[in-house]
Amino acid sequence: MPDNILTLLFAVLVFPGGLFALAFGLILRGLDRRAVARMQRRVGPPLIQPFIDILKLMGKRTMVPEGSNTFVFLWAPVVAVAAMAVAAAMIPIAGFYRPSADLGDMLVLLYLVTVPAVVLMLAGSASGSPFGAIGFSREMAIMLAYEGPLLLAVVAVAMVAGHHLGQPIALSLADIVAVQRQQGAFILDPMLWPALLAYLSFIPANLGFSPFDIPEAESEVLEGPLLEYSGPALGLLKLASALKSVVVIGLGIALFCPIGPSGGAGLLVWALQCAVVTVCGVSLAKAALGRMRIDQAVLFYLKWPELLGIAGLVLAVANL
Amino acid sequence: MDTFQIPVGPLHVALEEPMYFRLDVDGERVAAVEITAGHVHRGIEHLTERRNFWQNIVLTERVCSLCSNSHPQTYCMTVEAIAGIEVPVRAQYLRVIADEVKRVASHMFNVAILAHIVGFESLFMHVMEAREIMQDVKETIFGNRMDIAANTIGGVKYELDDARVAWLVDQLDRLEPVIVGEIAPLYRTDRSILSRTRGVGVIGRQDCIEYGLVGPVARGSGLDNDIRRLAPYAVYADLDFDVVTETDGDVWSRAMVRLGEIRQSIGILRQCLAKLPKGPSSLPGWPAIPAGEAVAKTEAPRGEVVYYLKTDGSTMPQRLKWRVPSYMNWDALGVMMKDARISDIPLIVNSIDPCISCTER
């Protein structure tokens, strides 16, 4: 099926994965920096500053530290970008884009979402720097803590959607979106609010933003795994993290609030939703909170979001 | 898990100055700390023996930036003690004003850096923005934002007319509500700050005495050893202020002491500006400095500064020696860092407000 392969390639490389997600992710990053600056009564950089940063990094040399594992050190960022480009192609945009089932279902997506964190761990340990090693252990700890709430929230939504479809569980994001477009967005269902909160609290930790920017804390471990990176390799890691914000926020919108109208307006509404989540969810927390300690963050996740996730699942199942 | 070593410093984003900590780390816990100093030794003490008494005012001001008023002031006090110079009362008031302006700016800088290390950038920005009021005061009154060159032997080198006094009071009126109404309550109640600073880097009162700690570090553990109260110099004896102490001896207590002292300093400034007597602000001419020895001490923002001067009747010191507060305080880092987490190390270091360039000069 050459047609299908071409479509898939287009989805992964151009839209909505690849180039589009890259550009959109960088704009979201710029928006976030600008919003934080405004909250701190600063002017802030121009919206396209992240593009400029990436361009600058791409024009520099990548230094590979002595004593590092060169292969892992250089390929880890590539893997992160590739994984995120595929993941971005799997995110439906309500009314505008329906991912092909050939890309895989939500289980694949959940695995892909963890790839950047794993890459950071690999990169940290491959760099041979003690700060990278600390970043590794912190990334691992916080990942174990936030994966629980994520899975619980996703399963709660999938089970509710599956109930509407007459299946035990709906593992296709496209189906979950379709159900909500018929039955109303899940964000309006109070029974799913705990799951929504669990998902929202997962976002800053997964994206490595305050108050959970612990593995890459600049004033503590000198950006941990990123410490030894420079030039294009660092640029790729930054691209992967920009892509990840699109994936994680887009997944949240698909799970809870896919309300865009059909056609081009759907894309516009989706982009606006992403921007709102970025400013209200990420920038606000960044401006209002300090960093937690790793033990505090892990404890926090094991307490509140985990509880919310369990409550969300129980409520969702009890209500079927 | 085996312990492994990580270097903190000599260049590190959370340290303003070069200092090297070699940490033996067991997971996130610190097993042992080794502190190495000496990266910014510039031989200033030796240099003072090759400069005359007036050149040394300029030189001692450049020992350190944040306490750059305490050094020349204490130095001038030793020279005045040897020469038997009576400093005019107005000059003494002006000295206190210069000193307290510097203290406010220095303490605000330190608590701002605390917020930066915690990753609370908005609070950092807010405190630094408020600190600009004090920086503008320095620039307007003294003509410079850091080295204010206020002191000279026998008096001060700046004047305050009525317009400037009124303007200064205005600036204090702008700053005080921000400190009292916004910044201090934030540090006292914000969860981000409390969860990272309470119970971190604790040092008890007894340890403070044994290590001879000075300044806000000692006062954070309940030891009220403020030189302005214990051995009043200039006109501190006539001024009404409280020595701020806290009891817990953790990073948070030391920050709260500094915030409290900012408020006391604003009060001292207000009293000085109201009481400022008429008269000369310096002595005419250059007095001869006879042979002799003298010691003077003042309360710098970081604690007690002691200057010792020996002269032989020439125009240059035979020996000038000083002891700065950070020298006393940084040994206690070993106590404070015992069983600390890696993430707490920069916080603990910052909490003693170390002045490396003072200590190593």
Percent of chain A at pLDDT exceeding 70: 94
Task: Write the pLDDT tens digit of every residue in A148-174.
Answer: 888 888 888 888 888 888 888 888 888
Token digits of residue B4: 């492994």
Q: Which of the two residues, A68 and B200, has the higher pLDDT score?
A: B200
Nearest by Cα to A153 from A115, A202, A90:
A202
pLDDT mean over A211-235:
72
Q: Which residues of A touch B345 (CB under 8 A)?
A: 220
Tell me the ipTM for this assembly.
0.73
Residue contact A290–B344, C-beta within 8 A: no
Ordered alpha helix ranges (H), B181-240: 184-189, 191-197, 205-211, 215-219, 227-230
Distance CA A202, CA A200 (A): 5
User: Is A291 in contact with A217 (CB distance < 8 Å)?
Assistant: yes
Chain A residues with a Cβ under 8 Å from any Cβ in chain B: 36, 39-42, 130-131, 133-134, 137-138, 210-211, 213-214, 217-222, 286-296
State yes or no: pLDDT of A217 exceeds 70. Answer: no
State yes or no: pLDDT of A239 exceeds 70. Answer: yes
Classified as helix, coil or strand, B361 is: coil
User: Is B28 in contact with B343 (CB distance < 8 Å)?
Assistant: yes
Q: What is the DSSP letter of B19?
A: -
Task: Write the pLDDT tens digit of every residue in B107-131.
Answer: 999 999 888 888 788 888 889 989 9
Q: Which domain holds residue A117?
A: 2-318
What residue type is assigned to position A9 of the chain?
L
User: Is A152 in contact with A307 (CB distance < 8 Å)?
Assistant: no
Q: Which residues of A touch B342 (CB under 8 A)?
A: 134, 220-221
Q: Hey, which CATH number is domain B42-319, 3.40.50.1980, 1.10.645.10, 3.10.580.10, 2.40.50.140? A: 1.10.645.10
User: Is B289 in contact with B79 (CB distance < 8 Å)?
Assistant: yes
Residue contact B119–A41, C-beta within 8 A: no
Distance CA A206, CA A142 (A): 9
Q: How many domains does chain A have?
A: 1
Question: Mind telling me how many Å the CA of A219 is from chain B's nearest CA?
Answer: 5
Residues 6+ apart with CB under 8 A from B36: B10, B19, B20, B21, B22
Q: With a cut of 70, which residues of chain B have pLDDT below it?
A: 1-2, 13-15, 27
> Is B45 known to sit in a ligand binding site?
yes
Q: Which residues of B touch A134 (CB under 8 A)?
A: 6, 25, 28, 342
Residues 6+ apart with CB under 8 A from A54: A26, A235, A238, A239
pLDDT of residue A216: 65
Classified as helix, coil or strand, B21 is: strand
User: Is B149 in contact with B142 (CB distance < 8 Å)?
Assistant: yes
Distance CA B214, CA B225 (A): 7
What is the domain partition of chain B in residue ranges? 42-319
Task: Write the pLDDT tens digit of every residue in B214-273.
Answer: 889 888 888 888 888 888 888 888 888 888 888 888 899 999 999 999 999 999 999 999
Region at B249 (left for phi over 0; alpha for psi -120 to 50; beta for the rest): left
Phi/psi of residue A208, nearest 5 degrees: 70, 40
State yes or no: pLDDT of A1 exceeds 60. Answer: no
Residues 6+ apart with CB under 8 A from B206: none
User: Is B12 in contact with A222 (CB distance < 8 Å)?
Assistant: yes
Q: Which of the two residues, A215 and B287, has the higher pLDDT score?
A: B287
